[in-house]
Amino acid sequence: MIAGKQYSLRRSDGITGFLFVLPAFILLLVFVFIPMAKAFYYSFNDYMLVSGSKTFVGLKNYADLLQDTKFLNSIKHTFYFAVIVIPVQTAIALGLALLVKPQFKYTGFFRTAFFVPVVISTAVAGTVFKLIYNRDFGLLNVLIGAVGIPKISLLSNADIAMNGVIILGIWKAAGFFMIVYLAGLNNIPQDLYESARVDGASKLQQFFYITLPLLKRTTAFIIIMTTIDAIKLSGIVFVLTSGGPNSSTETIVYFIYKTAFDQMQMGYASAAAFILFFMILIISVIQMLFLRSKVNY
Amino acid sequence: MKKLFSSMLTVTMLSIVLAACSNPGGDQSKNATNEPQNGGSSPKTETVTLKFWRPSGNDAENGAISKLIENFEAKNPGIKVDLENVPFDNYETKVRTALAGKTAGDIIAIDAPTMSSYANAGALYDLTSFMEADADLKDIPEGILQSMKYDGKYYIAPISEANIALFYNKKMFEAKGIPLPSKNVDEAWTWDQVLDAAKKLNDPAKGVYGIDPAQGFGGGEGPAYFKTPILWQFGAEVLSPDGSTAKGYLDSKEAKEALTFYQSLYQTYKVSPLELPPDPFPTGKVAMFVDGIWDLANFTTNFPNFKLGEDWDIAPLPKAKRQAMANGSWTFGVTADSKYPKEAWQLINYMTGTEGAKIYADMTGALPVRYSVVDQTPKMKEYPYSVFVGQLQKYSMPRPVTPAYPAVSAAIRELFEDVGQGNRDVNAAAADAVKKIDDAIEALKR
């Protein structure tokens, strides 16, 4: 009897739990998993957007993509962005967090000031930076001209254009990760620093032996998020450069969008999207393995 | 003549038959979907609801369309129009997705050069019989008629046109003692004359460039609209007449001349800015600026101290071997899945016919397509409008009409970026562009 009662209780609990999860599950199913499965199916088809004509072509889209210089270049541009942005932006975010952590009179002002770019819309930021970067009339060249540095053409020189995107990207996102680091810093118990001071550790030693190790989880989170954001880069490219000059700032997501909605090659674009998906998946898994922290406090 | 008459008769009969067929259909589906009939006092006419999608424009354009719909509904009590002004940036994406899902409106606004991909995909209703019956096609310039046709059939009707010309800073010309270009449509400057003037006007120390030949470098359809004409002016074409290849056309001797000239403006003579600041012309940063009629209103409103006739003027677009510029602006088409093609056509015919197009032109200041509307609008015969209207009627031609147009547009944008901004070898860049276009044409055949 008792066993049966327990069983039925557990069973009704199970149903209740299932009902609680059901709405969320249905939403996920309809808006995430089914579209993903369909897109995966389309990636094996020569699927054109407007006509909806579909012919199964197997792995042809994938094979073509791996020989498509435009796609390969977009991967190159994306990774150039990521490789620079991940360390630089993380370092800047940490630096900013350390700067605004101590409570002074104007701390609130600086925290806000550094966070403001995150709130500004990408379209506005892109337009303003376009003005700043302009070769002949922009603020940037006026400033560096005053110091005697020759003009730089961030918007028309294909060799350096990606750096313009990088500067805007970091300016726009560093403030967000500063806040995350700030939370991480505030989680480090003060007594650790006190005992370190008693033992005679310098500020630098405190940073390298207490702050940095104890921020490892935060850093791991930030690096993984930055990586995913960097690889998904597209908004800034849309407003700042439209992929130019000479396609030098075309990123993977930009390529996918253009292929799908301008060229209407949905199948081809879906295949590119899945290559991107697997790239992010693999990179994230590797990062999680490497950055796994054993420190608990 | 006899043949023409008999074919017109057939078309007329056909449209009567079509009309007869489509009316009961419309009524039936109306009965099925309409709300239950109320008190019986209302007139018994069944209403058809047409879904009409267009990208939201400026206030004048939106107002004009609303006015047209109001007039149309007053004249056709049986038809209701459900207008949706879609945000401009999302418009193409929304239409393309909806066409694939067969959920697009009955009437959709179409940017003329994208028509052939939609028509080729079977997404548009063939309007040929309607148009030949009651659109008065002789009232439309031949160059524009071509932009409305794909594979010999009419799919779209334009409500307005656009046109580009050479805007020049009169004060700067006078300061350097350069004779002013003519305002006569048939006396366009040659590109050599433009280059000569540009060299004299160019003043890097003061931050003044001689000429911006085609709106700098940007994304979207703008580059193809402004840069394809340069190829035409030098005597080149983009595609073979049958649209089967770009080889021998986009990489022809004439095309390479055009590209080399374009490149020299930026790289050899450095009279053109590689990076355009916002509003370069009214702020005096470029002395000559190729721009469209739509900026007339922009300059008058936003730069009241920069006066047409005093500070600046408009001349016909420069030529080389011939005069040419692109036509094809926003047009309307009926989707293939529409249940009410006949009613949809009635609305389009009203909006794009003489009466509707006149209202639209008056309210928006856009260029009218039809000769009759131009005749009824005195201001279109006067400078500065006369330059645009004259060019449109005499020298405008459609961008390549091919289902591979999206690829053509992208290839032309990249080609001019490559040679202008990237200073790339013209031969290699042209070869690349030809390959991109031919690959796309090939892919469509499968």
A82 burial type by CB count under 10 A (0-12 exposed, 13-18 middle, 19+ buried): buried
Q: Give the pLDDT score at A244.
A: 82
Cα dihedral B25→B31→B33→B35 (10° resolution): 150
B268: contact with A, CB 8 A cutoff = no
Chain B residue numbers with beta carbons less than 8 Å from the beta carbon of A243 are: 219
A-B Cβ pairs (cutoff 8 Å, strict): 87
**Which stretches of chain A are assigned E, i.e. beta strand?**
none
d(CA B350, CA B353) in angstroms, rounded, equals 5
Burial B60-89 (b: 16+ CB within 10 A, else e): ebbebbeebbeebbeebebbebebebbeee
Low pLDDT (below 50) residues in chain B:
1-43
Residue of B217, B406, B421 with shortest CB distance to A264: B406
Q: Give the pLDDT score at B26.
A: 36
d(CA A103, CA A111) in angstroms, rounded, equals 11
Closest-CA distance of chain A to residue B351, Å: 26
d(CA A177, CA A222) in angstroms, rounded, equals 7
Residue of A136, A242, A246 with shortest CB distance to B422: A246
Residue of A134, A246, A261 with shortest CB distance to B417: A246
Tell me if B121 sits within 8 A of A51, measured CB to CB: yes
Under DSSP, is residue B288 helix (H, G, I), strand (E, B) or coil?
Answer: strand
B118: contact with A, CB 8 A cutoff = yes
Sequential pLDDT tens for chain A (297 residues): 444 455 555 778 888 888 999 999 999 999 999 999 999 999 999 988 887 788 899 999 999 999 999 999 999 999 999 999 999 999 999 999 999 998 888 888 999 999 999 999 999 999 999 999 998 888 999 999 889 888 899 999 999 999 999 999 999 999 999 999 999 999 999 999 999 999 999 999 999 999 999 999 899 999 999 999 999 999 999 999 988 898 999 999 999 999 999 899 999 999 999 999 999 999 989 988 887 765 555
d(CA B18, CA B8) in angstroms, rounded, equals 15
Beta carbons of B274 and A242 less than 8 Å apart: no
Q: What is the DSSP letter of A153?
A: -
Q: What is the DSSP letter of B396?
A: E
Q: Give the pLDDT score at B58.
A: 86
Beta carbons of B285 and A137 less than 8 Å apart: yes
Phi, psi of B289 (to 5 degrees): -145, 120
ipTM value, please give it: 0.83
Beta carbons of B100 and A50 less than 8 Å apart: yes
d(CA B247, CA B240) in angstroms, rounded, equals 8
Burial A271-282 (b: 16+ CB within 10 A, else e): bbbbbbeeebee
- Radius of gyration for the alpha carbons in chain B, expressed in angstroms and rounded: 24
B212: contact with A, CB 8 A cutoff = no
Beta carbons of B421 and A258 less than 8 Å apart: no
d(CA B250, CA B402) in angstroms, rounded, equals 15
Q: Give the pLDDT score at B12.
A: 43
Instruction: Please state, as a whole number, how many other Cβ atoms lie within 10 Å of the Cβ of residue A203.
Output: 11
Nearest-Cα residue of chain B relative to residue A138: B277
Closest-CA distance of chain A to residue B434, Å: 15
Residue of B100, B273, B407 with shortest CB distance to A136: B273
Phi, psi of B145 (to 5 degrees): -55, -40
d(CA B361, CA B329) in angstroms, rounded, equals 13
Instruction: Please state, as a whole number, how many other Cβ atoms lie within 10 Å of the Cβ of residue B236.
Output: 23
DSSP letters along A25-85, please? HHHHIIIIIHHHHHHHHHTTB--BTTT----B-TTHHHHHHTT-HHHHHHHHHHHHHHHHH
What percentage of chain B carries pLDDT values higher than 70? Answer: 90
Strand (E) or helix (H) holding B9: helix B2-33
**Which stretches of B213-345 are assigned E, i.e. beta strand?**
286-292, 312-315, 325-326, 330-334
**Alpha-carbon separation of residue A198 from A192, A193, A297, B157 (angstroms):** 10, 9, 21, 84
Beta carbons of B219 and A243 less than 8 Å apart: yes
Q: Give the pLDDT score at A104.
A: 84
Tell me if B10 sits within 8 A of B42, measured CB to CB: no
Reading the block at residue B36, the tokens are 């239950």
